[in-house]
Structure 1
Amino acid sequence: MISPRLTVALLAGCALQQLAAGAEVHGAGAEGTVMGPVAFLWPSDRQWDASQDNTAPCGSSAGVTNRTEFPLDQGSVALTIADDAWNVEFHLAVGNNPTSESDFTEQVVSNISSVQPGHQCYKLEDLPDTLSAGTNATIQLEYWSSYEDGKNETFYACADITFVEAVAFDAQVPCFNVTASDFNSGSASSSASSSTASATGASASSSSNDNSGSSSSSGGLSTSDKAGIAIGSILGGLSIIGAGIFFFLYRRRAAAKREAAAAAAAATPKEVEEASVRSARH
């Protein structure tokens, strides 16, 4: 059996690795280097391509390279947002490799008027009744932003999935809602503590600010904003891990005490006397 000390070391190592990875992906230079203004945090999207991110339907020259298992019920998508965006839409195409905008006929999240830099999670709605476990599909993200030349442009991204029964889905989805302004103001309106919540616990969220689509300039996330969002979400996960470790060790100690008490209660008077004699000799 793995010792408690080794368990703590392993979990701490994993947490530090996640922290380093998060800082790299969400740190300075993410926008325009590994992602556009908005990208899928979950499920995994196709490789980003700066020369293609305004090209329908998927904003990438890469085809289907990997698929993420996705629950048939109560599934959610999570976004990482590096810059202001508007008219955010999610559409679904059922099939192995959709290549045309006309393939994405099912809108699976209500229209989102605008989003701010940070992270957001949205629950998928109105999935087709014809879907079943094992069905391949692609989720399309479509939105407006103006980060390249100050003009509003349409951007695309796609995530390839395979549907599974909800009871068979046990992945931990990084589903939480937080904006960069939450960190700057010190408000606690984010749900970063649920960064390891399952897809069934995700809630849809949309901005109340409407935008008519007029041109808008934005400096996007600063280095501290991006690092703060990443570290904040990871620390939320670390608090859950720490609580789990404490509970694990507490139960082990309690079990050991119960076993010792039971052994003492079951001991015969002769055994107790012999133990006392041995103790006196030492």
Structure 2
Amino acid sequence: MDPVRFIWPHSREQNAAQYSASPCGSAAGVINRTYFPLSHGVLALVIEEDTSNIQVSISYKENPMSNDDFVILIKPNRIKGTGLGGGCYPVPDPPKNTMNETDATLQIKYQAPIDHGNIETSYSCADIRYIASGSFHPRVPCFSNASGEFILPSSTSSAVPSIQPTIKADLAGSLKIGLRRGAIAGIATGVLVGVVLIVLSYVGYRRYQHWGGARHYHLSVRNSKWDGAGNVVSGREA
């Protein structure tokens, strides 16, 4: 599996022998395109090995064939401290004259140790089709960034989505990649505390029921009158 890959949008099929083949690390052409919003778009990336110089580019050609067909969206020095993990990263909006249903291809270019520790430049692509943001409804599978850091200059802060995408449950296997041990321990502790609180609440409720029943019994006995034979008699009969 490639050291850096798209979780969203969906990437082209790849195999290890072609990771270093530009521009997309794959012999496959465009097969499927993922709908991508015209504004506030994000990429969900998984990083499974130590990686550096991750660069994100885009091509508006129908089927880009070389690196010259791409323009840079995110420069290599803007995704810092990468390692085992990954996360979601906002990308700049396309030019204002970009029409609905416009096709494009996103490219990630990065450096990673491949064979015997040798550093190689590798590629991966995801083919997209822009769609009006108001018509975009899929839930983008975003997750916590374990060791990567995305540096946003203030001038592009508006590119961050106003609504945080929802995590998809079927990504549980990938989500654990993006969680530190401390985060996992925190989740486990939270679950344990929740269980303990539920048990204590139940025990308290049962004790309250027992106390209420016993109190009612004692009050009934105290307010009752007895005859000489040990029988309870009503107040009227007394």
Could you say whether these structures have the same fold, taking a TM-score greater than 0.5 normalized by the shorter chain as the test? yes
Hey, what does 2:163 align to over in structure 1? 201
CA-based RMSD of the aligned residues comes to 2.9
Q: Which residue, out of 63, 70, 74, partners 1:109? A: 74
Per-residue CA deviations over 1:186-237 (Å, capped at 9, x if unaligned) read xxxxxxxxxxxx965359xxxxxxxxxxxxxxxxxxxxx978338999xx9x
How many angstroms apart in 2 are the aligned matches of 1:139 and 1:169? 18
Contact 1:91 1:104 in 2 (8 A): yes
Hey, what does 1:60 align to over in structure 2? 26
Hey, what does 2:129 align to over in structure 1? 162
How many angstroms apart in 1 are the aligned matches of 2:98 and 2:116? 41
Give TM-score, length-normalised by structure 1. 0.52
Local SS of the residue matching 1:174: coil
Hey, what does 1:135 align to over in structure 2? 102
The residue type equivalent to 2:42 in the other structure is: S
How many angstroms apart in 1 are the aligned matches of 2:50 and 2:97? 35
Hey, what does 1:36 align to over in structure 2? 2
Q: Which has the higher strand share?
A: 2
Contact 1:84 1:114 in 2 (8 A): no
Bigger Cα displacement from structure 2, 153-162 vs 121-130 = 121-130
Query: Does structure 1 residue 122 correspond to structure 2 residue 89?
Result: yes
Local SS of the residue matching 2:14: coil
CA apart distance, 1:109: 2.3
Hey, what does 1:228 align to over in structure 2? 176
CA apart distance, 1:95: 2.2
The higher radius of gyration belongs to: 2
Question: Tell me, which stretches of 5 or more residues in structure 1 are unaligned?
Answer: 1-34, 182-197, 204-224, 237-282
The residue type equivalent to 1:201 in the other structure is: I
How many angstroms apart in 2 are the aligned matches of 1:125 and 1:180? 23
Contact 1:180 1:229 in 2 (8 A): no
Contact 2:51 2:82 in 1 (8 A): yes
How many angstroms apart in 2 are the aligned matches of 1:200 and 1:42? 18
The residue type equivalent to 1:47 in the other structure is: E
How many angstroms apart in 2 are the aligned matches of 1:132 and 1:158? 21
Local SS of the residue matching 1:121: strand
Identity within the alignment, %: 36
Hey, what does 1:19 align to over in structure 2? none
Contact 1:44 1:68 in 2 (8 A): yes
Question: Tell me, which stretches of 5 or more residues in structure 2 are unaligned?
Answer: 149-159, 166-172, 188-238
Hey, what does 2:41 align to over in structure 1? 75
Contact 2:32 2:127 in 1 (8 A): yes
Q: Identify if the C-alpha distance between structure 1 residues 80 and 168 changes in structure 2 by more than 3 Å, giving closer, same or farther.
A: same
How many angstroms apart in 1 are the aligned matches of 2:130 and 2:110? 24
CA apart distance, 1:128: 2.2
Aligned residues: 162
Query: Does structure 1 residue 48 correspond to structure 2 residue 14?
Result: yes
Hey, what does 1:147 align to over in structure 2? 114
Local SS of the residue matching 1:201: coil
Local SS of the residue matching 2:49: coil
Hey, what does 2:60 align to over in structure 1? 94
Structure 1 consecutive aligned stretches of length 4 or more whose deviation exceeds 6 Å: 230-233
Q: Identify if the C-alpha distance between structure 1 residues 180 and 113 changes in structure 2 by more than 3 Å, giving closer, same or farther.
A: closer
Query: Does structure 1 residue 84 correspond to structure 2 residue 50?
Result: yes
Local SS of the residue matching 1:102: helix
Local SS of the residue matching 1:160: strand
Give TM-score, length-normalised by structure 2. 0.61
Local SS of the residue matching 1:51: helix
Contact 1:73 1:166 in 2 (8 A): yes
CA apart distance, 1:112: 2.0
CA apart distance, 1:180: 7.5
How many angstroms apart in 1 are the aligned matches of 2:102 and 2:38? 10
Query: Does structure 1 residue 172 correspond to structure 2 residue 139?
Result: yes
